[in-house]
């Protein structure tokens, strides 16, 4: 009951900001924002004239530094250090990859992020007009002057108009980068794509206008411009529970609002210590009509057609199934997650890591999801399993930096020559390359936490509690799962005993009937 009251209180709290959108400041009335702005930095300067601390705060965040040390494992993390199973490393590919940096002009990731406060991009997160856009290849800059794009002269966005529109970040702001990770809509995460900008209720009960109409930051609470909710360090089990005002200011777990016992059913509540909410409540991801990439084989890249032109093949849904620049792809929609025990720790693969200890059955596990049925700190979580093949150095036994993007004679996307691209990438990163190149099959696991379905669509008990080898929990071990697990010997003995007694009584009965018919002597 107490929990229910908290929940009601919470919903009131959460919906409050969306009811009273108006702040005490109307940004369209500020003279400082009239412009005209000829540079992106001059907009930031105007913002800083009132919001004096904002750049300093942003520059402290992971959105800015792309650099952090894991507080538990001690592993140095950040985009320039680890390799993922999509484009690999942003090193040597900066002006393209840093288009999603929350600032302007980070052209060399070997250097730390810029320290000039005017390099912070306020608009990408706070534009509410929808008119602001970063150029995909300009290290985070928007278009500033008229430019020929695809044979058409395109005018730059009106920065002063955008500056006067600023407000709280909406789904579109965060989505500009997070929905398009991995090089396109929905490619990387599977549970984040443009279908969440205006999702129907059955896609996402929280973000749908027919549901709670929440924005990302209502869960991913920002404290001094630092977001909560991290894939590098997930709260896999939230023992804190309800997040109350003046409490921990981190509402990125379901429990923050729903508590630890949210069901009206004790048996369901009994599951919350071992099963993450997401496991039942996100039965499938990529449900919004946007497919996510599930296979990326770099090893086949570089093929040309009969005319010597780079080859591109589309599948029946219009997705690229082969690209000379990137190799073979597979896309999927309505994907059933993979399930793993997860205690919130993920060990990533650094570009400098030796690979031996990260191999499982000849496959490189790029990020090792830690946790087990018995460590008391884990729950069963859903993941998107990304599969693929990536270039590596079989002699040094490391992954390699693939230089894909750039206006030079080595970038793979324009020259289609792996040895050249790898040599360039490794030299750029200052890492040794033996000169030998091969491809290694990889897996990477992406925790699924968005696209929460209406409760009627949550998994039923039988999805896991089943002897069916296709059951959702079929591959998890180290614990007894009712309805799935059996002691084979007991079953054999038990059925033999039941069957034996049935046969026994039938035989006994048959003999009785036969002998009864015989007249007694």
Partner 1 sequence: MTHKRDVMIYTRYERFWHWSQAVLIFTLFFTGFGIHGTHDLLPFGLAVMIHQTAAIVLIGLWIFTTFWNFTTGQWRQYLFKKGILKIIRFYAYGILKGEPHPYKKSLQRKQNALQSLAYMTFMTVIGPALWATGIVYLLYNEWSHFDGAGEALGIVALLHTAAAFAMGTFVIIHIYMTTTGKTPLHYVKTMITGYDRIELSEVEEAYLAETKAAEMK
**Contact residues for 140 (Cβ-Cβ < 8 A; gap 6+):** 98, 99, 100, 101, 102, 103, 104, 105, 106, 121, 134
The β-bridge relationship of strands 379-393 and 292-297 is parallel
Which is closer to partner 1, CB of 11 or CB of 496?
Answer: 496
- What's the min distance (Å) between Cβ of 483 and partner 1? 6
| Of residues 363, 340, 347, the one with CA closest to residue 442 | 363
Residues whose CB is less than 8 angstroms from the CB of residue 123 and which lie 6 or more positions away in sequence, other chains included: 40, 43, 132, 142, 159, 162, 163, 166
Q: 51 or 377, CB closer to partner 1?
A: 377
Query: Contact 411/405 with Cβ under 8 angstroms?
Result: yes
Q: Contact letters (x/-) for partner 1, 436-475, by CB under 8 A?
A: ------------------------xxx--xxx--------
User: Residue 415 CB, nearest distance to partner 1 (Å)?
Assistant: 54
**Least distance CB 495 / partner 1 (angstroms):** 8
263 binds partner 1 (CB under 8 A): no
CA distances from 273 to 68, 244, 293 (A): 30, 21, 32
């549901």: which residue's tokens?
211
368 is written with which tokens?
């090792």
Residues 149 to 188 in contact with partner 1, rule: CB under 8 A: none
Query: DSSP of 23-58, one letter per residue?
Result: -S--GGG-GGG----SSHHHHHHHHHTTSTTHHHHH
Decide if residue 517 touches partner 1 (CB under 8 A): no
**What is the closest distance, in whole angstroms, from the C-beta atom of residue 176 to partner 1 in the complex?**
42
**Residue 507 binds to partner 1 (criterion: CB under 8 A):** no
Q: Least distance (Å) from partner 1 to the CB of residue 508? A: 7
* Site residue total, partner 1 (CB under 8 A): 40
* Cβ 342 to partner 1 shortest distance, Å: 15
267 binds partner 1 (CB under 8 A): yes
Report d(CA 135, CA 157) in Å as an integer: 11
CB closer to partner 1, 200 vs 454: 454
Of 61-69, 170-178, 388-396, 511-519, the segment contacting partner 1 by CB under 8 A is 511-519
| Per-position DSSP letters for 168-190, written without gaps between them | S--HHHHHHHHTSTTTSTTSSSS
Interface of this chain with partner 1, residues 351 to 380, rule: CB under 8 A: 373-374, 376
Q: Does 72 bind partner 1 (CB under 8 A)?
A: no
Binding mask 274-303 for partner 1 (x = CB under 8 A): x-----------------------------
C-alpha span between 303 and 310 (Å, rounded): 6
Choice between 254 and 464, CB closer to partner 1: 464
Q: Which residue stretch of 28-36, 201-209, 423-431, 506-514 sits at the interface with partner 1 (rule: CB under 8 A)?
A: 506-514
Residue 299's alpha-carbon distances to 303, 426, 437, 440, in angstroms, are 10, 18, 10, 9
**Binding of partner 1 by 110 (CB under 8 A):** no
509 contributes a contact to partner 1 by CB under 8 A:
yes
Q: Tell me if 490 contacts partner 1 by CB under 8 A.
A: yes
Contact 115, 59 (CB under 8 A): yes
Q: State yes or no: residue 510 binds partner 1 (CB under 8 A).
A: no
- Between CA 69 and CA 81 the distance in angstroms is 11
Pick the stretch among 27-35, 270-278, 439-447, 448-456 that binds partner 1 (CB under 8 A): 270-278
**237 within 8 A of 343, measured Cβ to Cβ:** yes
Tokens at 171, concatenated: 């789904």
Instruction: In angstroms, give the least distance from the CB of 457 to partner 1.
Output: 15
| Residues at the contact surface with partner 1, assessed by CB under 8 A | 267, 270, 273-274, 373-374, 376, 460-462, 465-467, 478-480, 482-487, 490-491, 493-495, 497-498, 501-502, 504-505, 508-509, 511-512, 515-516, 520
């Amino acid at each position: 009951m107490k929990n229910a009251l908290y929940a009601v209180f919470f919903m009131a709290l959460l919906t409050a900001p969306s009811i009273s959108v108006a702040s005490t400041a109307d940004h369209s009335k500020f003279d400082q924002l009239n412009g005209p702005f000829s540079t992106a930095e001059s907009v930031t300067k105007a913002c800083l004239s009132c919001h004096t601390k904002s750049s300093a705060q942003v520059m402290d965040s992971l959105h800015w530094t792309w650099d952090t040390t894991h507080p538990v494992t001690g592993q140095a993390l950040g985009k320039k250090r680890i390799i993922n199973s999509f484009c690999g490393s942003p090193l040597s590919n900066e002006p393209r990859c840093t288009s999603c940096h929350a600032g302007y002009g980070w052209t060399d990731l070997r250097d730390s992020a810029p320290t000039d406060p005017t390099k912070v991009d306020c608009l990408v997160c706070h534009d509410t007009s929808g008119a602001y856009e970063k150029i995909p290849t300009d290290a985070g800059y928007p278009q500033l002057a008229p430019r020929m794009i695809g044979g058409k002269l395109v005018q730059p966005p009106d920065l002063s108009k955008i500056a006067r529109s600023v407000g709280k970040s909406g789904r579109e702001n965060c989505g500009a980068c997070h929905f398009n990770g991995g090089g396109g809509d929905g490619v990387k995460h599977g549970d984040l794509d443009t279908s969440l900008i205006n999702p129907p209720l059955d896609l996402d009960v929280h973000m749908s206008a027919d549901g709670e109409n929440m924005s990302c930051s209502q869960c991913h609470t920002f404290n001094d411009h630092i977001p909560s909710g991290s894939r590098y360090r997930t709260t896999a089990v939230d023992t804190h529970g309800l997040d109350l005002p003046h409490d921990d200011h981190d509402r990125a777990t379901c429990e923050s609002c729903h508590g630890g016992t949210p069901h009206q059913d004790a048996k369901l509540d009994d599951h919350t210590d071992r099963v993450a909410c997401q496991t039942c409540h996100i039965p499938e991801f990529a449900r919004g009509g946007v497919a996510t990439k599930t296979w990326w084989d770099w090893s086949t890249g570089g093929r040309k057609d009969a005319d010597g032109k780079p080859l591109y093949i589309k599948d029946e849904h219009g997705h690229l199934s082969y690209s000379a620049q990137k190799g073979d792809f597979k896309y999927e929609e309505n994907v059933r997650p993979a399930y793993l025990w997860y205690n919130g720790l993920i060990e990533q693969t650094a570009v400098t890591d030796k690979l031996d200890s990260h191999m499982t059955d000849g496959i490189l596990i790029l990020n090792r999801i830690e946790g087990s049925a018995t460590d008391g700190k884990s729950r069963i979580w859903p993941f998107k399993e990304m599969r693929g093949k990536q270039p590596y150095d079989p002699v040094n036994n490391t992954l390699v930096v693939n230089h894909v993007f750039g206006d030079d004679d080595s970038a793979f996307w324009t020259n289609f020559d792996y040895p050249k691209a790898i040599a360039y990438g490794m030299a750029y990163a200052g890492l040794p390359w033996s000169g030998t190149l091969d491809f290694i099959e990889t897996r990477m696991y992406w925790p699924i936490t968005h696209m929460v379905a209406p409760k009627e669509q949550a998994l039923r008990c039988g999805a896991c509690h089943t002897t069916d080898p296709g059951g959702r929990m079929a591959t998890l071990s180290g614990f007894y799962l009712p309805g799935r697990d059996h002691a084979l010997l007991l079953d054999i003995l038990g059925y033999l005993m039941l069957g034996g007694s049935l046969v026994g009584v039938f035989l006994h009965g048959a003999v009785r009937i036969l002998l009864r018919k015989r007249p007694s002597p």
